[in-house]
Chains A and B, each alone.
Chain A
């Protein structure tokens, strides 16, 4: 019994989550790809051909013959899509860079903090992450509006005479992304800085490096794993972000997550939105693999 139970337990621990993820995470991607090759139809579900298990292998082959790449041709013909992909990548890259600029000094300060207050600081960084994403984005609308709190402050201080237009521009999106994803950047950088041996920077300084030079030559390179992990954690989801461009961005803001959403919900064009998703996935596959590789390596070191 014991041996049988042991083998069974070991197997189930792997098989159950494995099967779950295969069915609910991996297989759906193949369905997305398949539907991106279908035609739009006025029906429910709104695409043709409908895959039918009952039709057997013959029906399946018929299905494949009906596949078309029209949706992809459509995506290349309309400049809107290429622009949306391009500007998503650009906005995500700029926001990632800005997030890094703000997060690094915070993470560095935390790592230098006395041991007694570090857990509290860590807790304070994580806490906003637990409050709703939607709420945090929403909070910025009241701040960035032309008659909002930020403009009121600047006007009162006499720094400007006209309210700045920030809401519904790309700047609002940058602020939204930096704000929402800041903890994702701070935490990995902090954890790689915290592990660092401080005698290394001291040695560099003893050997004549200025503190700034010691930072760039020693500290920063050693914190690279954290920087890379943080950048991936911000960049990849930011490319497909929907809530932030929708609530903070303007009508001229093109981001692919919003395009996909509109294509699906407003135009009800499922095959085109599936094609949009497939290409987005192809664009992100390289950074995602890179992220996984870094994570797997980090796990290996922790072992």
Chain B
């Protein structure tokens, strides 16, 4: 067909080359023998070995993973609730404000969010550290979860929920047994998104964390300021690898759920 023209293909190829080339180069130079990240001097995995002896980096990685797991989980619960509130209850007092508070954090410059949360923690006398970091991460990631889950809920057929309620299920039971299984892939991708956003964050973390709670991006950032080294490339490559595997698993899970759903629907209509 002529719609998929050469111009279209060229712009996609160039666009994707632009998106992927820097990441590919970064990964390649993490295996560089030389200390320079711009001149290739042969293959080596020595920078990865060196990472294992960098205790500060490993500690930071551990803090980051713990913050990520806790904050993504809480954010998923809160974000799913917020998505339900937004789609199910079209009018309640302060709904405008509520939707404002869901969308604003998506675009709010991180320096503002970070500073304002820090000042809150200082005002209420909450010592900065692991928990303030986690609370801040929950707050900004829950909005992303809410948006992801909300878009799934908008295309959700509510009649099956009504059927469950008519048959005597309580709202909680209806949610757990009918709604949640259907929206589970969206909830799961919301969790993955919240987790990666949390892993990734530098600015909000720098404002809200305290002594003893240095995250990996904060550690990487302070090393980057001193110069570009293959060791940082190696850390970044590992992080990219983890994310790539995570996304792959998430897409396989959601695709198999989708196929299952279509099969179930066909089976239901066949009767």
Contacts and interface: CB of A to CB of B under 8 A. Distances in A.
Contacts of B26: 135, 138-139, 142
Contact of A135 (B112, B115, B236): B236
Contacts, number: 263
B23 A10 contact: no
Interface string B230-246: 00100010011001101
Contacts of A70: none
Interface stretch (B48-56, B147-155, B261-269): B147-155
Contacts of A186: 15
B112 A25 contact: no
Contacts of A109: 7-9, 11-12, 15
A138 B224 contact: yes
B139 A112 contact: no
Interface in B47-89: 78-79, 81-82, 84-86, 88-89
B22 A143 contact: yes
A110 to B, nearest CB: 6
Interface residues of A, number: 95
A6 interface: yes
A113 B4 contact: yes
Interface size class of B (residues with CB under 8 A): 35 or more
B101 A26 contact: yes
Interface string B196-238: 1001101100110000000001001100110010001000100
B107 A237 contact: yes
A179 B115 contact: no
A296 interface: yes
B45 interface: no
A140 B97 CA distance: 39
Interface in B1-30: 1, 3-5, 7-9, 11-12, 15-16, 18-20, 22-23, 25-26, 29
A265 B111 CA distance: 12
A132 B81 contact: no
Contacts of B170: 1-2, 5-6, 9
Interface in A13-55: 13-14, 16-18, 20-22, 24-29, 31-32, 35, 45, 51
Interface of B: 1, 3-5, 7-9, 11-12, 15-16, 18-20, 22-23, 25-26, 29, 37-38, 78-79, 81-82, 84-86, 88-89, 92, 94, 97-113, 115-117, 119-120, 122-123, 135-136, 138-139, 142-143, 146, 150-151, 154-155, 168, 170-172, 175, 193, 196, 199-200, 202-203, 206-207, 217, 220-221, 224-225, 228, 232, 236, 239-240, 243-244, 246-247, 251
